[in-house]
Amino acid sequence: MSERVGPGFTTHVVTNQPPPFEDRNLLDADPALEEGIAREGGGALRDRVHAYAGVMGSAETLDLGREANRHPPELTAFDRFGHRIDEVAFHPAWHRLMALSMEHAVHALPWREPRPGAHVARTAMHAILSGVEAGHACPITMTFACVPALRAEKAVAEEWEPRVLSTDYDPASRPASEKRAATLGMAMTEKQGGSDVRANTTRAHPLGGDAWELVGHKWFCSAPMSDAFLTLAKTRDDAPPTCFLVPRWRPDGTRNRFAIQRLKEKLGNRSNASSEIEYRGSWAQRVGPEDRGVRTILAMVHHTRLDCVSGSTGLMRMALVQALHHARHREAFGRHLAEQPLMRNVLADLALEVEAATVLMLRLARAFDAPDDPGERAFARIATAVAKYWVCKRAPIAIGEAMECLGGNGYVEEAMLARLYREAPVNAIWEGSGNVICLDVLRAIVREPETLPALRAEIGLARGADRRLDAALERLDAELADATGAEARARRLVEALAVALQASLLVRGAPAPVADAFCASRLEGGGSLFGTLPAAVDAAPLLARTLPA
């Protein structure tokens, strides 16, 4: 029976709606990312990123992301006979996403292929991943970031690193020695301590040899379906924590005493499992020197913070793409939204924010590619914390503005924006919330005196290229010279460092209209909200660059 429209009928013809944004290569659609990969040394791996970007931009993969979030993981604490099993079940869509990302080595590329540009390429892929489906980014990130920490204990690294580097995803629950690949998680936080891990109470008791037994709880355990976890426990009540590896299965092939108390009900990140756990005499191996656990696990944290930056960048990028795609197709008041001056101002402002985050994350990644260079190592130490604070703080605001570009359509669950918006705060909280990160920047300045000069030198490479940046550098130097009340002013200082670094990178590497608009709006005359670019800024080149037709 054919559809009829007329008096007495409630059906209607759908018009003035954009087509789905799908089946697009997400690298081809992002000139700033493409240029940044080449500029920061990842050009030799560009085809690897391009292949992954094509897979992730397909309609099929985008649908996997929707399905994974519609069907969150479920905990099965006991089998039908009453045996404790502590298993987490995921929707097949989530497993397929894990398989795709591991197949493309997003969890391990720099360790599998330690070559210049490997971190740059891998960081670009992680940003793409996060914009498509951020929940499975957590186990991908942790598995990637665990390697530097594992290497603090040779025997542990020799056993576990080959499993971690495998690209053959294996979700089966069985001893890691029987699997094609392994993923790792992390469990540090306790109820009473939060970010103050030195207040942890979990105890480690020696069993002889390199074996230990852990007793205690963890308030947040990321990715509890992983094959093993890096964790902290004290060997004595009065001792600093030690780092341990806790596998889900013991060496004798029996389940480790690792009890998942519950899965967290979270604002976002719904496809991923986060949990509370208890160590009930859990078998573990020490990783790194005894009583030096914080230093050992910070090697992992340093790399996860890089992923916080790329994750937030990817979320903002996808939100911007969705908003601009909508605005180019949607008409209102006789014109496409993207042709209307105020909407163009909002979209161009968002485009500036995303490009600034993109150049910053890729410059950071280049520093990670040069761990033996003292200057790059010092730069990475402080700039990662600065970027983690600023980019992750900007993401919820930018994504909320992008959602508003779609109006009510952006607020409903059928649109991607609702999921991106729920996801947006997590990277600002995970691995150190804002205050913790700002205090870490101050700590680096005081205790690692090589870090601030390295950051300041990087920013100063653009001195003389733009008068507004030169003026900002003078203000920044005055801020740094004033030691009074530094802790109370830490957020202002870190923001100034971040924006100056972004401006310097754009002035040196981005097209002139982008750099000029950023300096005009962020260093001189912009408003406090998106959509307040100065009248002299031309939105056309910014929007054409953001999403080529």
**What DSSP line would sit under 398-440, residue for residue?**
HHHHHHHHTTHHHHSTTSHHHHHHHHTTHHHHTTS-HHHHHHH
Close Cβ partners of 189 (under 8 Å, ≥ 6 residues apart)? 195, 197, 218, 219, 220
Note the pLDDT of residue 1.
44
Per-residue pLDDT, 12: 76
Q: Where do runs of H (alpha helix) occur along 166-292?
A: none
Whole-number Cα distances in Å, 261 to 88, 112, 139, 274, 521: 12, 35, 19, 11, 49
User: Dihedrals φ, ψ of 278, to 5°?
Assistant: -125, 135
H/E element, 78: strand 74-78
CA angle centred on 469, ends 503 and 522, rounded to 5° = 55
- One digit per residue, the tens of pLDDT, for the chain of length 549 reads 445 555 566 677 889 999 999 999 999 999 999 999 999 999 999 999 999 999 999 999 999 999 999 999 999 999 999 999 999 999 999 999 999 999 999 999 999 999 999 999 999 999 999 999 999 999 999 999 999 999 999 999 999 999 999 999 999 999 999 999 999 999 999 998 888 888 899 999 999 988 999 999 999 998 999 999 999 999 999 999 999 999 999 999 999 999 999 999 999 999 999 999 999 999 999 999 999 999 999 999 999 999 999 999 999 999 999 999 999 999 999 999 999 999 999 999 999 999 999 999 999 999 999 999 999 999 999 999 999 999 999 999 999 999 999 999 999 999 999 999 999 999 999 999 999 999 999 999 999 999 999 999 999 999 999 999 999 999 999 999 998 999 999 999 999 999 999 999 999 999 999 999 999 999 997 788 999 999 999 999 999 999 987
Taking a C-beta distance cutoff of 8 angstroms, is the pair 299, 243 a contact? no
d(CA 142, CA 222): 8
- In one-letter notation, the amino acid at residue 271 is S
Write out the two tokens for 12.
């209607």
pTM: 0.96
pLDDT confidence of residue 526: 77
Of 396, 210, 197, 170, which Cα lies nearest the Cα of 293?
Answer: 197
- 232, exposed or middle or buried, with CB in 10 Å at 0-12, 13-18, 19+? buried
Six-digit token pair at 487? 């802790």
CA distance 406 to 477: 41
Q: Please count the helices (runs of H) and the strands (runs of E) in the chain.
A: 20, 11
> Are 142 and 183 a contacting pair, CB within 8 Å?
yes
Classify residue 6 by its DSSP letter: S
